[in-house]
Chain A
């Protein structure tokens, strides 16, 4: 191999610069980003976790630099929304964003040759870089030895080798940047056939250089990509004279095809063969024949029959355990809030402020914070699974089924993140290649029971489903809980199957994915990330809930009720009961009560009264607010003793019949409504952003809400007839 001289530049780091992290998916870019910036980007053992640009800063030798974390890509020949972001950032065609001054080219040392493919393409862009070999610990374990110096000579850039998970990784990188600097690589020389070269040149001349703002060095790559993919329409820009370009590309493609030329084949083969030659001197590997852990686990987990069964079992255990393990913690939080409310109530003089604090804010907030343990458990599970490398297997074994219903194996991970929250789930669909698969996944994703529904489910189940043990650790309540998640999945799958028929079928994209080797998840980072999510839950929910609780408290406390002579006479007879009656009368004639009773007829068929109705309305701000709202309403309406929301719901009596007002039927109907209805403004906003039009979020809102109403109605009727009749 001919060695290159390295023209290391060190001055470049004297001024503030923008440094981008580029590399294959799942190579440790975000791990490095977090170490350098102190931020907490999501990290997991699955190719395609980062799906957007993320900015941070770091100080190297006294100078503040910007760091950009990018989605992973296998080549610059991008096919997916996330890869496109990386590509556009690199070629500097991102609107309003500066392009990177230098790169940290992240390369997985345990899978060097494959990773160097992207590196060699990126080098054509001639941006100064430092090559960072990550996973050096894993490479060591597998007996792969890499001579960094050798590698550096061949590629003409400085190389360092690190374990990105280790604590000192940021120091190592900074030191390397400072001591070794960066170097501008030379573009790779490959020999396209004459025909291909002519095609590239023509496309460059007649289209790219005239009609696009691409820098010169990026044009051959873009030309090649256009010849291979042929699609302009996915790009972010609306070009003028796009038609002309399309025609030109088609013409060139036809010429190439007639000569039996595959546009990318030559480039790829030559790059790989250069990589193969270059690693001869710098990489050695001990031959080992033993079965690895990954082999053994894969024999079971990717089994045709056992694989899907295990996946369902994993979900079952997950939902059962978040329901039962979290209970003691929830009781504790519940007690704390009751105590705290009582303390505040007794230490402040009675009056409006007291009531606003205790009944409005503390009750509303406490009603939601109580679900923090369940949320944290849910995230612990999800992060653990993602960190282990299992999720790629789940995607693989579920692909057959997913394809049948109009989705794709790659939909599995976005859908799973939907259990936490629909928003990251919708973002994660950027890893799906096919636009139609992606759209259907987005459109059904909100059916996945997100953590904001959990409080409503938990309250209703604890109040109205008998606490019976079925077998082993499975309880009836746990099963109903799992059933609700399952119901969400069934709705999602059913709707996808319907949409598959409605939306035009394109060419399907067969499932192809790299399976990362299993890793023991980094427990401390799993725990930290879960706690982080818990914090977000509390602060985000907190903000909305405090606001809504205050508004609601005002609406439910005014106008104040003036007792009539009749009431006063009653009060003499029995003080205790009358005070309770008074508060009920107060609530009923308040603004909230009046409005609630006005909408009651619309929700009566579903088994809801006006109090739930008010809860439903507020829940369109955020689902979990429902529970806070009920808590606030019930705190304003006093009882003899301090009771939790669950007892209050059970004890609510219908004044006309004298029977309990809420039954299992009400609970089921309400839960079904929540399972289906589109009650999340932020989700709609994200759908608008990802699909680039208001059409899809509006359709989503419409079909889900209508479906929710009728399903809840049917459920209520059915439960009344068959369960309680």
Chain B
């Protein structure tokens, strides 16, 4: 199941499966470690997203996050917020 990053929940583990944005934005995401196949944890999702990829915490705005398609890996319990 592949969904936009914006529809994920806090604490969810996801695998980036497709960067569906302009080649420039794709390039910016990639060099920050957000490459296709990378796994990350959703730290915050309040319209804008904070995604932790490896040791790197990325702040991603809504319009960009909509174009990042991810695949949920395994449901972890939602952290208390």
What residues of chain A have their CB less than 8 Å away from a CB belonging to chain B? 74-75, 77, 79, 110-114, 117-118, 142, 144, 228-229, 262-265, 268-269, 272, 291, 294-295, 298-299, 302-304, 392-393, 396, 399-400, 409, 433, 507, 509-517
Contacts and interface: CB of A to CB of B under 8 A. Distances in A.
A513 B54 contact: no
A221 to B, nearest CB: 13
A399 B81 contact: no
B46 interface: yes
Given A298-B50, A304-B47, A515-B50, A114 B32 contact: yes
Contacts of B63: 510
Interface string B44-66: 10111010011111111101100
Most buried by A among B25, B57, B79, B81: B57
Contacts of B2: none
B64 A511 contact: yes
Interface in B3-33: 22-33
Contacts, number: 117
B35 A268 contact: yes
A398 B1 CA distance: 33
A268 B22 contact: no
Nearest to A76: B31
Contacts of B32: 74, 114, 512, 514
A272 B35 contact: yes
B56 A114 contact: yes
A304 B58 contact: no
Contacts of A514: 32, 56-59
Contacts of A433: 28
Contact of A269 (B23, B36, B61): B36
A295 B54 contact: no
Contact of A512 (B22, B29, B38): B29
A299 B81 contact: yes
Given A399-B61, A511-B59, A512-B29, A113 B54 contact: yes
Contacts of A516: 57
Interface of B: 22-33, 35-38, 43-44, 46-48, 50, 53-61, 63-64, 79, 81
B48 A400 contact: yes
Contact of A304 (B31, B46, B64, B79): B46
B33 A114 contact: yes
B43 A262 contact: no
A117 B32 CA distance: 9
Nearest to A272: B35
Given A117-B33, A142-B55, A304-B47, A512 B26 contact: no
A144 B54 CA distance: 12
A229 B26 contact: no
A512 B54 contact: no
Nearest to A229: B24
B55 A111 contact: yes
A396 B27 contact: no
B35 A302 contact: no
B33 to A, nearest CB: 4
Nearest to A289: B76
Contact of A515 (B25, B30, B59, B81): B59
B61 to A, nearest CB: 4
B31 A117 contact: yes
B27 A264 contact: yes
Given A110-B55, A263-B23, A400-B48, A295 B43 contact: yes
Contact of B27 (A77, A392, A393): A77
Contacts of B53: 114
Contacts of A304: 46-48
Contact of A79 (B28, B56, B81): B28
Contacts of A291: 79
Given A77-B31, A113-B54, A114-B32, A265 B26 contact: yes
Nearest to B61: A511
A74 B50 contact: no
A268 B37 contact: no
Contacts of B37: 269
Nearest to B66: A510
Contacts of A142: 55
Nearest to A262: B23
A515 B44 CA distance: 13
A397 to B, nearest CB: 8
B60 to A, nearest CB: 6
12 contacts: A74-B32, A79-B28, A114-B54, A117-B31, A263-B23, A265-B26, A268-B35, A269-B37, A302-B44, A396-B50, A509-B25, A512-B28
Contact of A262 (B26, B47, B48, B57): B26
Contacts of B50: 298, 302, 396, 515
A265 B59 CA distance: 22
Nearest to B38: A272
B55 A264 contact: no
Given A304-B47, A512-B60, A113 B24 contact: no
A74 B31 contact: yes
Contacts of A113: 33, 54
B23 A512 contact: no
A75 B24 CA distance: 13
Nearest to B63: A510
A77 to B, nearest CB: 6
A400 B32 CA distance: 21
Contacts of B31: 74-75, 77, 117-118, 268
Given A294-B57, A302-B46, 17 more contacts: A79-B27, A118-B31, A228-B23, A262-B26, A264-B26, A264-B30, A265-B30, A268-B31, A302-B50, A304-B46, A396-B50, A400-B48, A510-B25, A510-B64, A512-B29, A515-B58, A515-B59
B46 A512 contact: no
Residue among A111, A114, A265, A304 having the largest count of chain B Cβ atoms under 10 Å: A114
A511 B64 CA distance: 8
A228 B61 contact: no
A409 B60 CA distance: 11
A512 B55 contact: no
A510 B35 CA distance: 17
A269 B58 contact: no
A272 B26 CA distance: 15
Given A113-B33, A299-B81, A392 B59 contact: yes
Given A295-B43, A514-B32, A396 B48 contact: yes
A517 B59 contact: no
Contacts of B55: 110-112, 114, 142, 144
Q: Which of A117, A507, A510: most chain B Cβ within 10 A?
A: A510
B13 to A, nearest CB: 12
B45 to A, nearest CB: 10
Contacts of B29: 512
A286 to B, nearest CB: 13
A269 B54 contact: no
A30 to B, nearest CB: 20
Contacts of B61: 399-400, 409, 510-512
